[in-house]
Amino acid sequence: MDKLVIHPEVPGMAMPGVDRVAPLRALHWLRLGWTDLAHSPLSFVYGGVFALMGYALAFYSGQNPPLALSLFTGFLLVAPLLAVVFYDISRAMDLHRHYPIHHHLRRLLRIRGGGIGMYALLLLFGMAVWTLMSAVLAGFFLRGNIGGLGGFAREAFFSGAYGSFVAAYTLLGLVFGAVVFALSVVTLPMLMDRKVDFATAATTSLWVVRENALPMLVWAVLIAALVALGFATVFFGLVVIFPWLGHATWHAYRDLVER
């Protein structure tokens, strides 16, 4: 069955059509992303780099649980930016081309650099605000020596000793994450694929979420679950999960924005 295409009308912007998709369409994007991953050994190299970043964050903040939480959740906020190389790899594969690693890195700096730079500044500002808010919550709810990250996690989620902090942190994180997610669903892939400015790409992303509320909820839950699995495997799973989600995001963009 043909998809329903919505044509947003935004003054001053040449907006592309937005497709409405089925609630479980995200499973299709994951399947296509997995196919791209299986044909791109280079993606595993990038995935290994991001797994090492996770180890570095854990080592740096392991004895400061509030800092660790803010860094890990902040990592999720900037993940769409870190995954741009996977969008470019999938884009090249759609064109039946394969490039060496330096080509993708050079292209990211050259093509649509202004829009991507604006997006990067927005995410960095968001991460700084989130880190500050995390520190405020930790200072308000937590008292005394709470030990390392592992002990804190067990106490927080199994004993309920930090239940108020976890509830407040989760609620605030969901609100903050929803805003970033809505602004990120198709923004970066669109900037890499088309000659559009940041405002047009971000507005398109918001329209995609507006017209596909349930599919986007499913997509967000799947992303969160897979990333949590990557963290639960002591970051080893991120070698596969991070590039997989990056490739799938490219196919989500191709499916949600009219060509």
Local confidence pLDDT in tens for the 259 residues of the chain: 456 788 888 888 889 999 999 999 999 999 999 999 999 888 898 889 888 887 777 776 656 666 666 667 777 777 888 888 899 889 888 887 766 665 655 666 555 556 778 888 888 888 888 878 877 877 777 665 555 555 566 666 666 667 787 788 888 888 888 998 999 999 999 988 888 888 999 999 999 999 999 999 999 999 989 988 988 888 889 999 999 999 999 999 999 999 8
Which residues lie below 8 Å from residue 149, measured CB to CB, with a gap of 6+?
58, 61, 62, 63, 64, 65, 68
Query: Among residues 66, 60, 63, 71, which one has the least CA distance to residue 147?
Result: 63
- Rounded to whole angstroms, the Cα distance separating 219 from 249 reads 10
**108-124 b/e with 16+ CB inside 10 Å = b?**
beeebeebbebbeebbe
Relative orientation angle of helices 101-110 and 113-141, to the nearest 10 degrees: 90
Q: Where are the domains positioned within the chain?
A: 28-256
What torsion, rounded to 10 degrees, do the Cα atoms 140, 152, 180, 128 define?
60
